[in-house]
Structures are given as C-alpha cells and as structure tokens.
Structure 1
Amino acid sequence: MPPAGETSSDAALEQLRRRFPRVAVVHDWLTIPGGSEQVVLQMLEMFPEAELFTSVYDPAPWPAQITERPVHASYLNRIPGAVRHYPKLLPLMNGAFRSFDLSGFDLILSSSHACAKNVRKPPGALHVCYCHTPMRYAWEEGFLEGEPIGRLTRMALPPLLGRLRRQDLAGAAGPDVFVANSRHVAERIARYYGRSAEVVHPPIDVDHFLGLERDPQDFYLVFGRVVPYKRVDLAVAACANLGRPLKVAGDGRAMDSVRAQAGPGVELLGKVSAAERDRLLSGARALLFPGEEDFGIVPVETQAAGTPVIAYGVGGASESVIDGSTGVLFPEQSAAGLAAAIERFEALALTPEQARENARRFGEERFRSELAAVIAHAADARAAAPAVG
C-alpha cells in the first residue's frame, strides 16, 4: 500500500523514477506551443530531472518547466532564422536527431510526429515513442492539397517525400515500444511501420473547462489553426447553405481562401485571448470540426465546457465524441455532409452534463498513469526476455 496521502499512481511513478534515474525526453522542435508540447510537459512532470533534446529551440514561449532544465538543441538551431523557418529544415532533421549522443541515459521518451523517434538508442536503454502520427505529409497522398506550394517545389516533392518515407520507416525500427495518441494513429503506425502500438489519449486540462458556465448562444464555432487539412471551408459552406451564423477563431495560411469564401453570416475573429476562447467554447451552439485529426484536443475541451461537437467521423474525433450523446459524427467529408449533420444535431436534445462527463476521461493525471503503466510493462517485459547470444 502507498503511504498515506500518496495514490497508487504516485507510487508507481516514484518506482519508475528510481528504476530510470537518467531520462531523455526528445521532441521534434520547441518553437510554438501546441497540443504535442502538452505531452512533453506531462513527460517532464513524470520525470522532473529529465533532460530535453530537440532540433530547434526558441526559449521565449515556454514555462520554467522547460527553460530551467538542460535543453539540448541540435546543430540546426545555429542556422539563422531556424526558429521561424524550421519546417524548411525537415529534410535535414533526421541527421540532426541521429547526431545526438544519448550515452548514459536509461530511458528515452520521444514525442514524435516527424523525426524525434529517429534518435540512436544507447545500449541498455529503453526507448518508448509517443507517436502523435507518422509523417502525414510524407505518407498520405493528398495531404498537401490546398497548400501554397510553387510549381518548382511541387516538381521536387516526389523524390523528397520518397526520401522522407525511407528515413521515417528506418527510424521506426528504433523504439522498443510505440504509444499512439488514438486508435486512428495506431492503425497508421501498423499500416506504415508494421509496428503495433499501445493507445494512450493525450493529456488535456479538462478541469479548467469543466469550471466554465455553459451559456449557449445562436452561433456555430470553428476554433483552431486555419490550415488546409482542417477544412474550415466546409464549415463556411455548410453554414452558408443553411443560413446559420458562424464564428471562426484562429488564423493560418488558409485564412485568405476562407476570407474570400466567407459571406455576411461568417465572423472571422483571428487569434483570440484565453478569456475570449472560454467565452466562445462555452457559448457556441456547437463546435464544428470537419477535418481529419490525429486526435483533436479542441473537441475534448469543448465538451468539457458543456458544448456539443459536430465532427467528421474519421480520425481521433470519433474516439472523443459520442454520436447522438455529446454531439454528432458525419461520414462524408463535404459541405453537404456537414450541413446534414447540423440539421440532425438541431433535432437532438443534448445536455451539457453528458458532454462534461465524457470529457472527464481525458485528464492529465490519467495520461501520466497510463503512460507510466506502458513504460513499466515494457521494462518488465524486457527484463523477463531471455538474453540473446
């Protein structure tokens, strides 16, 4: 039994810290805070003495939990403008991560949607990769549709993407264990890498949103980055066809095309403050989520605020939204498919309590407990395996 005041989860974590005194947390890049970086912060919560390794590092936007520990940036960080133009350095990142010397570390935790998993594991170490997704732009034909890519760049893409796929597949042989952020991503890992993966949904600060008062108003909401694969255009078209007011909160490289499409019923808010985000999420009639996401944090935050979600039923949202109970899932990624889902939603009587209760299962403590269990199981399995040679 754990000591008084200590949970079994706390005791399990303390055992892991003693078992793995030196931990390396490896992340693709640390430039702009997002959902994948919340995973990194929780890994650091689990292992407070861990050191960080990344390709490009800008300390400005990060809390002390990151800045007040050793952060090892690769040689790419010395390139002028790297923190702004890091996506253009992707062809060089495999080499950057392979260059890290992780000798002396007992446990490697990689948080990867690109090349972080490709680090070289020292003998005797355990490598657990939390995979947000295999590189979608490398593996999924059509993922780059709608991106502002010039003609010459498009001509160079096939050989470049082929090289990235080969590097990605080679790197996927390195981790001892894969952990996926959704069943959807676990299926991609199996399809592209031929590896199985445990599923641990990402950590979400549901407690904050559970504390918001639900105040439904007469508008639908799109919230997040406005980039082509998010398919904000479908939300704009569906609401225009139905004559429903829509607010779009966020910015990104697809904003110009959305602005050109938007009619009088669409309000483009751009980036909003945290306080305004809370008002929007708790006040929307429903969140519209028409893109295919690896998991999707905003739908969970929205449900925690008591607000239903209308989402494309392919991808991670299908694992967080309960069709007919906390929102509506639609099967056809089109404006007509979304419009039909909105009309179906408007005929339902959903309650904030259903949405909030569903969101509770995605909290941060749950993430730490589940990931710790995966690490412990992997370590036990390796210890029990017969020696080779």
Structure 2
Amino acid sequence: MKTAFVHEWLTGGFVGSEKVLAEMWAVRPGSPIYTLVHNPGDFAGTPLEHAEIYTSAIQHWPRGVQNYRTYLPFMPYQIEQFDLTPYDTVISSSHAVAKGVLVGAGQLHISYIHSPIRYAWDLYQQYLREANLTRGVKATLAKMVLHYIRIWDNSTANRVDVFLANSEYVAKRVWRTYRRPARVLYPPVEVARFDHTRPREDFYLAMSRFVPYKKIDLIVETFTRLDKPLVVIGSGPDFEKVKALAGPNVQLLGRQSDEVVADLMGRCKAFVFAADEDFGIVPVEAQAAGAPVIAYGKGGSLETVVPDRTGVFFGQQSVESLTRAVGLFEERQHLFDAGTIRRHAEQFRPERFRAQFAAILQTAEQAKASGHDPERAVLALPLERI
C-alpha cells in the first residue's frame, strides 16, 4: 500500500513524539513524511535523517522554523494544503493539527493521538494565565483564535478512520473531545540502552523541559527544603525561575547527552516525576535503568508505574504531598528490586510497538479494502496487553 506520514513539526530534536513517528515509519520505511516545518540539523544521526520530507509554506515564512508556534492561527489551513491524493494510507502523528489533513473517501487515515490540543482544550485556562492573556486586546484575540481552533479540531475528527492513543488517559480524552473510541498503543521506549545492574547511589534524579506544567520548580523547591541531593537534567523557559529555588544540594546540569542520562538513571536512588503527562516516556526510561519512580498519581504515570513494585505516588502537586511521598519511598526502599523494575519496563520495548502497529495497520487496510469498518476491526483486534 502506498503510504504517507504526517507530523506537525520536526524541530527541537528527536524526542517523544518524534521517536514514535520513527518507529511507525520503520514499519513502512521510505514513505514520505509531511510536516509544517523541518529543521534537518535536529535529526542528524537519527532514523529520520534521510527521510523524504515535505514542508508547508510556514517553512519559508519569517523565522518560520524557529518561531513556528506564532503561526498557530494559520496551521489548520496549512495542514490542509498537503496533497495526499497519491496515497492509499495516511498515518498522522498528532498532538495539534496533523490529524486534520484532507483525505478522500477511498483512502485510509489512521491517526496516532499523543494528545488532543492541550492548550485549546484541557489546559486552555492554564495556558491563558501563564501567558498573561487573561484580559486586554491580545487576550481577546488569543481566545478567539483558540475558539476557532477548537471548532476546527472537533470537526476534523470525521476525517480519521481509526484513532490510536498513547495511553488509556488520552483515549478517554479522545472520547470526551471527539466522541470517538481509540485503540491504546503505548509508545516505544529504548529499554536496551539502559543498564539496571549498577549499584544505586545517594542522589535523586529529575529530567524534563523547564516549562510550567512539568513542575520542575515543585521538585527543586521540595528537595531544597528536604536538603536531600537532587540532580536535574533539562532546560527551557523556566530555567532561571528554577535556579532561584535551588539550594546547594541541587545540581542543575542543563541538557545532557543520551549517554549521560542513561548513566545517571542507572545510578540514582530514585527518579522524581511531577507532571500530569499524557503518557510520559521518561519515567519508563528510568524504570528500564532499574530506578524506582516517585510520580504524581495522575495521567499516564498511573499506567506505567506500579505502586510498591516500581515506585510510589503522591496525590497533589504540592511540596507537602511530594515530601510525604519521598518519606514513604525511603521507608519502603527494601521493596524495590532493580530486576523487577526492569522487567516491567521491557513491556514497552520498541519491538513490541512495531509488531502491534504493523498488526493494526494490516487489519485496518484489509477492512478498508473489503468494505468493512476499519475502526471496528482494529478495536476487535486481539493484542497482548501491558
């Protein structure tokens, strides 16, 4: 089957959603990828380095690659300009507008949803507050744009034959937003690059982009008060804010290579994760390295961390709640075995993802070709569950 992939933007490095795209692309290697903007330098040395990639007009607009988010009002129109008529199957990897591509009645469209557009739906009010867009002319314009995005986003759900979701948490949000069922296919995690056999050392580890909803400031403030050693990997807009909260027991390392990340995950006492994530690949990576996880008990973490077996949860995004969870972890350290934690993480290995995605793709294409409902066929497909 002649296949094309669609992904919102290929900038900022080979991270979560891009790794998922690469694994899906590996099932149909050589297929073209359509994206709004592309920075080739960010993908040197990755599986997508030599992919055939087509971009939108935004690629050539002033600072389109660097500041593509400022062109959000134009993205629905631009994603609809891709001519996908030569393809039998279209696979979109979507957390914003990719699922809105135009397809014909004879084409199959499978959309892997990392999340419905969070700043237009779930995080709408939070986004406006953090962007200081609660009042004034700019605020009114922003609200109007997001209102239009919501209407467009909801209407484009009918352009998708089969929804896949990266977690049960996201599948519920897909149903709430679009009133469509989604088959859960957990993202792939590069388990093999982590070593779980090394001795644990006396420091905690956190890693994330420094943006508000990741709650790195909460982790740093908590460990500063506890005066327990904490190492933090990552950078972003909130770096200076976080730095101001950090005591002498906290090391802020900035962005680090995969090798450094794997080394620290393999030695840390526990990994700390405070975000309400759709899935959250990083906590699974930590478990692949045999590290217990102290996680906020909401979102995807509830599907990837097993209480008292691979980690502990805290119930609120507050210093007090996280402090209690750290104390609980230290009381129960003896319960955590690196080999058991690693075996749990191996369920998310890339080979499993590729095999299940290939089965879903084949089932949907066969159903479409025989005149049956691809969505019903995929939902009924028996697959090994995690």
State the TM-score, normalized to the length of structure 2.
0.90
For 1:335-382, what per-residue CA distance to the aligned partner results, in whole angstroms no more than 9, with x for missing partners?
A: 111111111111111110111010000011111111122222323333
Structure 1 partner of 2:130:
147
Structure 2 partner of 1:219:
203
> Residue 375 and residue 143 in structure 1: after superposition, are their counterparts in 2 closer, same or farther (change >3 A)?
farther
Structure 1 partner of 2:74:
92
Of 247, 256, 269 in structure 2, the residue corresponding to residue 263 of structure 1 is: 247
Structure 2 unmatched runs, 5+? 374-386
1:257 is displaced (CA, Å) by 1.3
1:127 is displaced (CA, Å) by 0.4
For 1:5-50, what per-residue CA distance to the aligned partner results, in whole angstroms no more than 9, with x for missing partners?
A: xxxxxxxxxxxxxxx1x10010000112211000111122100131
Residue pair 2:270, 2:293 contacting (<8 A) in 1 also: yes
Superposition pairs for residues 298-317 of structure 1, below 5 Å? 298-317=282-301
Identity score, percent: 39
Report SS of the residue matched to 1:287: strand
Q: Whole-Å Cα distance in 2 between the matches of residues 386 and 36 of structure 1?
A: 30
For 1:213-235, what per-residue CA distance to the aligned partner results, in whole angstroms no more than 9, with x for missing partners?
A: 42312111111211100011221
Residue pair 2:166, 2:187 contacting (<8 A) in 1 also: yes
Report SS of the residue matched to 2:220: helix
Structure 2 partner of 1:38:
19
Residue pair 1:181, 1:201 contacting (<8 A) in 2 also: yes
Structure 2 partner of 1:6:
none
Of 336, 339, 342 in structure 2, the residue corresponding to residue 356 of structure 1 is: 342
Report SS of the residue matched to 1:172: helix
> Residue 70 and residue 274 in structure 1: after superposition, are their counterparts in 2 closer, same or farther (change >3 A)?
closer
1:386 is displaced (CA, Å) by 6.2
Q: Whole-Å Cα distance in 1 between the matches of residues 16 and 346 of structure 2?
A: 17
> Residue 325 and residue 212 in structure 1: after superposition, are their counterparts in 2 closer, same or farther (change >3 A)?
closer
Residue pair 1:102, 1:120 contacting (<8 A) in 2 also: yes
Superposition pairs for residues 124-273 of structure 1, below 5 Å? 124-140=106-122, 141-144=124-127, 147-149=130-132, 153-209=138-194, 211=195, 213-273=197-257
Structure 2 partner of 1:73:
55
Report SS of the residue matched to 2:9: coil
Q: Whole-Å Cα distance in 2 between the matches of residues 67 and 281 of structure 1?
A: 27
Q: Whole-Å Cα distance in 1 between the matches of residues 64 and 132 of structure 2?
A: 20
Query: Are 2:74 and 1:60 aligned?
Result: no
Structure 1 partner of 2:102:
120
Residue pair 2:90, 2:108 contacting (<8 A) in 1 also: yes
For 1:117-163, what per-residue CA distance to the aligned partner results, in whole angstroms no more than 9, with x for missing partners?
A: 10001231110000000011100244426735466543432212111
Q: Whole-Å Cα distance in 2 between the matches of residues 80 and 120 of structure 1?
A: 26
1:58 is displaced (CA, Å) by 1.2
1:283 is displaced (CA, Å) by 1.5
Residue pair 2:30, 2:52 contacting (<8 A) in 1 also: no
Structure 1 unmatched runs, 5+? 1-19
Report SS of the residue matched to 1:82: coil
State the TM-score, normalized to the length of structure 1.
0.90
Q: Whole-Å Cα distance in 1 between the matches of residues 245 and 139 of structure 2?
A: 25
Residue pair 2:312, 2:325 contacting (<8 A) in 1 also: yes
Residue pair 2:208, 2:216 contacting (<8 A) in 1 also: no
Residue pair 1:23, 1:49 contacting (<8 A) in 2 also: no
Let me know the Cα RMSD of the aligned residues: 1.8
Q: Whole-Å Cα distance in 2 between the matches of residues 155 and 241 of structure 1?
A: 40
Report SS of the residue matched to 1:61: helix
Report SS of the residue matched to 2:102: coil
Q: Which amino acid aligns with 2:159?
A: G
1:82 is displaced (CA, Å) by 1.1
Q: Whole-Å Cα distance in 1 between the matches of residues 79 and 129 of structure 2?
A: 30
Structure 2 partner of 1:320:
304
